[in-house]
Chain A
């Protein structure tokens, strides 16, 4: 025991070393050991955070920074220590960041919307975002010193705003569900519908959680029309709708297509166009409703199935998306024979279904390779399949190949952009979105995606401009603007540190905001 005397004995004026050590070492009995991580290491108190957690922090930080290659000397913690508000360097960084956030495109005042677009799109090279990767993520830090009640208040405002919109969404959902019950009774059950139900039952999932999500959609068979519709009495609304699509006027095209199907319930093409256009408008729920109607009338409509697959993928409804892809294959005259050799499992395990479908699509691609052509739809199907399972790299490859066959299809460019953006490469995604918008300037979804990528790249002003233009294009006396876009706009405005503008967002005062950001 005498050997421990130096450890245990108290020296004058200090705590004895053993007790000091035990203070640092705490045990958390609740912790479960995972992956060989020793809980005692993780529970070191704050002062020891850096010692053993360095590797963890580096790994985490590097994971997030994967698309941006940080230099080996990049140590976040030491940089943070270096940034003090009183440091003369701080002023410089603050100014740099201020100038970066107002880094703009050539801003010649637009005479018309299309002219603005031309200026915008002609110079994607000028679309310069933060060149220095360090600042991409440090932007909050220097302003840290200014974290005060204003910021907190602004955040409060935004959150209460979001809460309001959530409330609105709930009531909307309730009324629409009530409407459906009425419509469901009046829908005639025809042979096609029974047929499609039989097809769908292959994948009918009995597990409660999935039933909840797809069940909600199944009940929602009634398409919710805009009332009143100014074009209701037009002679040939479908043709008018197509004409408006030609000039990239999505919102009015939708109104025309709705009029067309209300006048003629079995207008398959109108339902299809309505579905595709609603998807371009960013309204997947409406798109799905319209496309399901189309399939009821024409169960072999491959274009409807492929659009449904991408809508379901956006909603992360795997089973429904897989089913749609499967239906595409069954009903495609070139490839349906592949299924006769292949007994597709009617198992609940969707992982197996994924493998089967993937193999089938790959076989189909081999077929078309023999004839030296690229079937872009086939590539899109495979791309959606990979996208569903978060393999964005492979999805990007597929969409790229599809574009080779159809370089002027704006929808393809948007899909490419989405796959690239979701894999973290927002700068590259921006290029793809510009292509899409050049081909189709009224493509709301592509513009919204572009804004989101700008937001991810901390280009707040550009993001806000994109959102505002999208909202402006959607703004119509008869139809509503997208709540989602307003929501993201609120976040961007908060990031730009303009709490004075939050009021405009709250009351959806678009004209004031357009004026503020100098958009005509």
Chain B
């Protein structure tokens, strides 16, 4: 059995944080507060908040005084595909694997986080 108690999303978010370390303006580019509710076996296991206004990414629901502008519910396995760039948000959405509450248009900003940027 794999490490069941650890979601793959945890690793994926750690990876994004690492990328943000080497590209300090990365999270601020999102310029929105996006919350991820990652599910496994149909139940929400953990949430992560991407606070584009502050430029931070942390586990859990938004902190005091911060409101989520969009909340995305997605299964752990699908999230991994999303984060690695193998699948994109609209396709997952259309397949019903990704549920969005709030400002749907903001969800497209995710590609900034997940796509590999070309370098000058």
| Interface flag for A68 (CB, 8 Å) | no
| Interface flag for A327 (CB, 8 Å) | no
| Closest Cβ–Cβ distance, residue B20 to chain A (whole Å) | 9
| Interface flag for B116 (CB, 8 Å) | yes
Flag if A60 contacts B84 (CB, 8 Å).
no
Q: How far is the CA of A422 from the CA of B100 in the complex (A)?
A: 25
| Closest Cβ–Cβ distance, residue B18 to chain A (whole Å) | 5
Flag if A494 contacts B86 (CB, 8 Å).
yes
A-B interface pairs (CB < 8 A), number: 148
Smallest CB gap from B91: residue in A: A137
Given the known inter-chain contacts A49-B96, A57-B90, A162-B11, please indicate yes or no for A313 contacting B120, CB distance below 8 A: yes
Contact partner, A488, options B101, B103, B116, Cβ 8 Å: B116
Q: How far is the CA of A491 from the CA of B118 in the complex (A)?
A: 16
User: CB-CB < 8 A to B28: which residues of A?
Assistant: 209, 316
Q: Which of A153-161, A196-204, A359-367, A501-509 contacts B (4 or more CB under 8 A)?
A: A153-161
* B43-91 CB contacts (< 8 Å) to partner A: 54-55, 67-69, 77, 80-81, 84-91
User: CB-CB < 8 A to B11: which residues of A?
Assistant: 159-160, 162-163
| Closest Cβ–Cβ distance, residue A41 to chain B (whole Å) | 11
Q: How far is the CA of A49 from the CA of B54 in the complex (A)?
A: 33
| Interface flag for B29 (CB, 8 Å) | yes
Given the known inter-chain contacts A34-B102, A140-B86, please indicate yes or no for A318 contacting B25, CB distance below 8 A: yes
What is the interface residue range for chain A against chain B? 35 or more
User: CB-CB < 8 A to A169: which residues of B?
Assistant: 18, 21
| Interface flag for B40 (CB, 8 Å) | no
Contact partner, A316, options B8, B29, B54, B86, Cβ 8 Å: B29
Flag if A455 contacts B85 (CB, 8 Å).
yes
Q: Which of A120-128, A234-242, A412-420, A511-519 contacts B (4 or more CB under 8 A)?
A: A412-420
Q: How far is the CA of A166 from the CA of B18 in the complex (A)?
A: 7
Flag if A60 contacts B120 (CB, 8 Å).
no
Flag if B118 contacts A422 (CB, 8 Å).
yes
What is the interface residue range for chain B against chain A? 35 or more
Given the known inter-chain contacts A282-B119, A455-B116, please indicate yes or no for A166 contacting B14, CB distance below 8 A: yes
Q: How far is the CA of A49 from the CA of B115 in the complex (A)?
A: 27
| Interface flag for A12 (CB, 8 Å) | no
Q: How far is the CA of A68 from the CA of B6 in the complex (A)?
A: 38
Most buried by A among B22, B26, B67, B118: B118
User: CB-CB < 8 A to B105: which residues of A?
Assistant: 35, 59-60, 63
| Closest Cβ–Cβ distance, residue A27 to chain B (whole Å) | 12
| Closest Cβ–Cβ distance, residue A350 to chain B (whole Å) | 11
| Closest Cβ–Cβ distance, residue B29 to chain A (whole Å) | 7
| Closest Cβ–Cβ distance, residue B12 to chain A (whole Å) | 7
Flag if B24 contacts A315 (CB, 8 Å).
yes
Smallest CB gap from A429: residue in B: B118
| Closest Cβ–Cβ distance, residue A216 to chain B (whole Å) | 8
Flag if A495 contacts B86 (CB, 8 Å).
yes
Contact partner, B103, options A35, A155, A314, A456, Cβ 8 Å: A35
Contact partner, B118, options A34, A160, A209, A418, Cβ 8 Å: A418
Given the known inter-chain contacts A80-B94, A317-B24, please indicate yes or no for A417 contacting B86, CB distance below 8 A: no
Q: How far is the CA of A214 from the CA of B55 in the complex (A)?
A: 14
Q: How far is the CA of A455 from the CA of B115 in the complex (A)?
A: 10
* A377-419 CB contacts (< 8 Å) to partner B: 384, 387, 390, 414-415, 417-419
Contact partner, B25, options A166, A216, A315, A488, Cβ 8 Å: A315
Given the known inter-chain contacts A166-B14, A317-B24, please indicate yes or no for A76 contacting B94, CB distance below 8 A: yes
| Interface flag for A46 (CB, 8 Å) | yes
Given the known inter-chain contacts A56-B104, A156-B8, A315-B23, please indicate yes or no for A76 contacting B91, CB distance below 8 A: yes
Flag if A32 contacts B14 (CB, 8 Å).
no
* A406-459 CB contacts (< 8 Å) to partner B: 414-415, 417-419, 421-422, 429, 445, 448-449, 452-453, 455-456
Q: How far is the CA of A471 from the CA of B49 in the complex (A)?
A: 35
User: CB-CB < 8 A to B2: which residues of A?
Assistant: 152-153, 156
Flag if B94 contacts A77 (CB, 8 Å).
yes
Smallest CB gap from B18: residue in A: A166
Flag if B22 contacts A137 (CB, 8 Å).
no
Flag if B102 contacts A417 (CB, 8 Å).
no
Q: How far is the CA of A9 from the CA of B22 in the complex (A)?
A: 65
Flag if B120 contacts A414 (CB, 8 Å).
yes
Question: Which 10 residue pairs across A and B have the least CB separation, nearest first?
Answer: A316-B25, A213-B24, A418-B118, A421-B118, A310-B120, A60-B90, A159-B11, A61-B90, A34-B103, A166-B18
Beyond A60-B108, A316-B29, list 5 extra A-B contacts (CB 8 Å).
A49-B96, A61-B91, A61-B94, A64-B111, A418-B120
Q: List 17 A-B contacts (CB under 8 A).
A: A35-B105, A37-B104, A42-B100, A43-B101, A49-B96, A57-B94, A60-B104, A61-B91, A76-B91, A140-B87, A152-B77, A155-B80, A158-B84, A209-B28, A216-B24, A316-B25, A456-B116
